[in-house]
Structure 1
């Protein structure tokens, strides 16, 4: 007898539980796990064949279907712990206990409250925790309470940010590609002139450098902690540079190199002197380009500005420096937390001056928005590309 499926070809089950599991798969993709549509479909089928309410079954169903290699295991453990809460189930195998034997008990009156509470606690499905995380993904960061912010921090720690891949001038050994004459000749000499297989090589792929400019001014205070934790997750890669901008420009890549997010935030707080101050985007962008960008850091890189665009200085200076940055960088992305608000239009002088030199203008107000930002950095297309939505 085959596995039952729904009318649309997917496994049957409660829609809310499926939405929570799909949200978990999206979080894995954001963390760098190659969870393809086929793997997600197999994951849903496996969960419904097992017990969707049992946390261990959900864990092993996902680990066996969504992970494609050894490198995915660490990311999977991190995302599962952040998404469902608690520690991942221990052990390499899961032993399914035998079904309980039916036993008739003569009992007068209702079940004791303690037993009822224990049964309710055991029957609590893991999907309930997942659904809360799915709701949290779309909530505005500025509206979260302390518990929501703590859960958001765990989910942000599981994110990964990788730059768009580019072809390098260097070549590496490969099974297919052009013939490598030097390695082929060396192989012939090693064999004493006897015929040997042709050695080939191909261009190596390398990720582009990612540069994050995070606004820590007073107007960005509700979002600064989450955006900097997003930058910490991005800084785990070797091709990422992070700067804070406000009234001063501060390079914080070294401070964010701590593996522990809380230690990184503490080191960053001590290094940044202009928390909740004003905003001088034009002057600081010019300082970045003069000192680092023109020398090569921004050349061919993906530069991401995380700011609401409020400018206390000259908007014309910001526009000129943005045009200069656009000529150097491979792509310029601007993430604005205010963009998601109803009726928003980029009418602020700073935002209006910068927008003509922006390749992608995206939101940055929620976890889901930051996941989309990570996808755009990797090269995904968005609605506003090359000026599609410019006001």
Structure 2
């Protein structure tokens, strides 16, 4: 049997992964989810699936996202669950063992083993250093990263849209047209609100030799964060039509001895195809590091022309610099003046006794708004929350 504390730990880890995938899960929904698991008792994976589907999905767009995250986090989707034709809810006997009879005395498949045995490894994986993972753990990490999304924090734009509630400024034109339709009789005041849209996110990923253990995972994180894949773009467009805004494009560059824009390489829906395309496009993979020069090239070619203006710029690097640290410091100051916020994710930050003493990291840090870790799945989940403006360092 799984203890209540173990079940809560695993369930909260699943919710965090779901949030990192872009689901807007409220604390009330989390409490309802944990309460449902407490009532279900044995906490079999099929029970967890339906409890989460009912409590954590707010609209139709959340269903596909929930299925992808559940399948990646728990390893295998429960038998008969395909997101389109859900299993009928039938009463069943409550058991205190890890298998449940289904049909003619057959044991339940692996999908109905106890929650601790199935998700314990996923919860441990969330906090494990990517550089120390085995091949099997990296495969599971890739499945979890494929479910990520990365939206910038929202901002108010100059455009306005009709308000569905009695809030906001009075829309004089619509109010007058409505008045004329009713023969000049005052009926109601129609209002409008400012449109809110997500800020652009720019990812600068270090692919130098010192970042080799982390580069693949960080680039897969960038692929999942990109708005290019068709399914995510379609969901973003539907959300934008509802909120009145427009989906912001996520731009991705690699840093090494030169700057390479790889946004177009990440348009492939399949992560493996995207990574194969990217490997051919990046000529300086596992080479040296010239952060100052590559950042200068980014600002000269794209940043000051508008890509970095008002954007959330994320650098994923260990801060090792073979060039002049003074150049990096000057370019970071320029970037800080252009961007809305500069976030630096350093995989080495989680190491015991770490201090930003490397010349490049020390030169860049004064111009960094948020300095976070980037060594594990949990650290990347926190990074996604920081970029959305939902968390601080």
Return the TM-score normalized by structure 1.
Answer: 0.86
Q: 1:232 aligns with which of 208, 223, 231?
A: 223
**Partners of 1:290 and 1:122 in 2: CA distance:** 53
Partner of residue 210 from structure 2, selected from 201, 219, 239: 219
Match of residue 262, structure 2, among 235, 252, 264: 252
In structure 2, C-alpha distance between the alignment counterparts of 1:306 and 1:121, rounded to whole Å:
37
Supply the distance in 2 between the matched residues of 1:54 and 1:362 (Cα, whole angstroms): 35
Q: Runs of 5+ in structure 2 lacking a partner?
A: 95-105, 228-246
Stretch moving more, 299-308 or 18-27:
18-27
**CA distance change for structure 1 residues 317 and 20 in 2, over 3 Å: closer, same or farther?**
same
**Higher CA-based Rg:** 1
- Cα distance in 1 for partners of 2:271, 2:74 equals 19
Given that 1:53 and 1:124 are in contact with CA atoms closer than 8 Å, whether structure 2 keeps it comes out as no
Whether 1:75 and 2:65 are equivalent positions in the alignment is yes
1:80-107: CA deviation from partner (whole Å, max 9, x where unpaired): 010011235243243436549xxxxxxx
Quickly say closer, same or farther: Cα 1:98–1:75, change in 2 above 3 A.
Answer: closer
Moved more, 342-351 or 234-243: 234-243
* Matched residue, 1:290: 300
Shift of 1:26: 1.2
* Residue in 2 that maps onto 1:96: 90
Equivalent in 178, 194, 202 of residue 203 of structure 1: 194
The DSSP-based 3-state class of the residue aligned with 1:300 is coil
C-alpha distance in structure 2 between counterparts of 1:334 and 1:302, whole Å: 11
Return 267-276 or 51-60, whichever deviates more. Answer: 51-60
Task: Kindly provide the CA deviation profile for residues 19-60 of structure 1, in whole angstroms up to 9, marking residues without a partner as x.
Answer: 111111111111122222221221122123225443221111
Shift of 1:120: 10
| Count of paired positions | 356
Matches within 5 A, 1:181-196: 181-196=172-187
Q: CA RMSD in A?
A: 2.1
Residue equivalent to 2:31? 41
Separation (CA, whole Å) in 2 of partners of 1:300 and 1:319: 20
Q: Which residue of the partner structure matches residue 106 of structure 1?
A: none
Select 1:19's aligned residue among 5, 9, 15: 9
Aligned 8 A contact 1:207 1:239 in 2: no
Q: Secondary structure at the match of 1:282?
A: helix
Instruction: Give the unaligned 5+ runs of structure 1.
Output: 1-11, 101-116, 384-391
CA distance in 1, matches of 2:184, 2:88: 57
Paired residues of 1:338 and 1:365 also in contact (CA < 8 A) = yes
Q: CA deviation at 1:366?
A: 0.3
